[in-house]
């Protein structure tokens, strides 16, 4: 199981840093960017993803964050890749639907959702993650999602009225439960955003916090269908990681549903 964010190291499959310059990316403070090619394990879909080249610099900057949030968003995690794959294997679930992604990171899942035809609102704690999500979605899907910076431990009311994204039918989330303090705030947020009968797709690599979150929803009557993704993943460090993709169905029916 992946334990936490990794300090930079030489790993097969990583491209060298490139002289990329993107609007909204402070290269002097945040360091250079690089591109990587990611092939989804089941659908075979290919993405070119821009990501920070210097994770160590981002870790050092995170020391000043009052929320003590590490830059998990800057990595290509197996859960985001698995969820993107699941989305592209079942595009009809998202096509033409208003969809929210919680914790969009670098935008792999967001790009897949846009390819599937979703009307997407991508949320993340990190403003830098939102910059790269927009770029990666434009590059890989030809579209950009609506974006909103959110700390879901204390979500502003703006979240619940953002461009008509209240009571959505689908929420996506990949590897967002690192700490136990996030379980209850995330459940509260999902229950306010997801309509009755709606679907939460949650991808997670076996963390105890995710198990606690899923168990709390099952106890509340949510139905849970699961599928396992064993890889392969872009990083050799993740070779033994297996991701579970949950399709959690909220009890009840949407207004007007027959």
| Least confident segment among 21-25, 123-127, 128-132, 235-239 | 21-25
- Report pLDDT for 55: 82
Place of tokens 């009225």: 161
Sheet (strand 243-249) strand order: 146-149, 119-124, 98-102, 168-174, 194-204, 243-249, 223-229
- Report pLDDT for 21: 61
Q: What percentage of the chain has pLDDT greater than the value 70?
A: 84
Closest by CA to 133, choosing from 75, 192, 49, is 49
Strand partners, 204: 244
Phi-psi region of 84 (alpha: psi -120 to 50; beta: other; left: phi over 0): alpha
The pairing of strands 194-204 and 168-174 is parallel
> How much is the CA Rg of the chain, to the nearest whole Å?
17
Tens digits of per-residue pLDDT, 136-187?
999 999 999 999 998 878 887 777 776 466 689 999 999 999 888 889 999 9
| DSSP state letters, the chain | ---S-------TTPPPPB----TT--HHHH--EEEEEEE-TTT--EEEEEEES-HHHHHHHHTT-TT----GGGS--HHHHHHHHHHHHSGGGTTT-EEEEES-TTSHHHHHHHHTT-EEEEEES-HHHHHHHHHHHHHHHS---EEEE--TTS--GGGGGGGG-SSEEEEEEES---SGGGHHHHHHHHHHHEEEEEEEEEEESS-HHHHHHHHHHHHTT-EEEEEEE----SSGGGTT--EEEEEEEPSS--TT--
Helix 183-193 with 208-219: angle, nearest 10 deg: 50
Tens digits of per-residue pLDDT, 182-219?
899 999 999 999 999 999 999 999 999 999 999 999 99
Residue 12, pLDDT > 50, answer no
- pTM given for the model: 0.87
CATH topology of domain 72-249: Rossmann fold (3.40.50)
């Amino acid at each position: 199981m992946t334990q936490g964010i990794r300090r930079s190291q030489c790993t097969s499959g990583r491209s060298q840093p490139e002289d990329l310059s993107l609007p909204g990316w402070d290269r002097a403070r945040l360091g250079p960017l690089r591109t990587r090619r990611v092939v989804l394990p089941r659908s075979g879909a290919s993405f070119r993803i821009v990501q920070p080249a210097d994770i160590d610099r981002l870790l050092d900057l995170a020391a000043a964050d009052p929320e003590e949030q590490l830059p998990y968003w800057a990595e290509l995690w197996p859960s985001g890749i698995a969820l993107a794959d699941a989305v592209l294997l079942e595009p009809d679930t998202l096509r033409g639907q208003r969809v929210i992604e919680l914790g969009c990171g670098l935008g792999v899942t967001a790009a897949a959702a846009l390819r599937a035809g979703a009307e997407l609102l991508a949320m993340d704690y990190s403003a830098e993650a939102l910059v790269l999500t927009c770029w990666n979605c434009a590059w890989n899907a030809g579209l950009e999602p609506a974006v909103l910076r959110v700390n879901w431990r204390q979500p502003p009311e703006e979240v619940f009225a953002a461009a008509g994204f209240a009571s959505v039918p689908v929420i996506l989330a990949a590897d967002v439960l690192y700490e136990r303090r996030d379980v209850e705030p995330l459940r509260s947020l999902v229950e306010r955003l997801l309509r009755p009968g709606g679907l939460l797709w949650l991808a997670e690599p076996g963390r105890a916090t995710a198990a606690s979150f899923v168990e709390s929803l099952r106890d509340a009557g949510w139905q849970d269908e699961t599928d396992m993704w064993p890889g392969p993943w872009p990083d050799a460090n993740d070779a033994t990681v297996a991701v579970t993709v949950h399709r959690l169905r909220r009890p009840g029916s949407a207004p007007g549903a027959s």
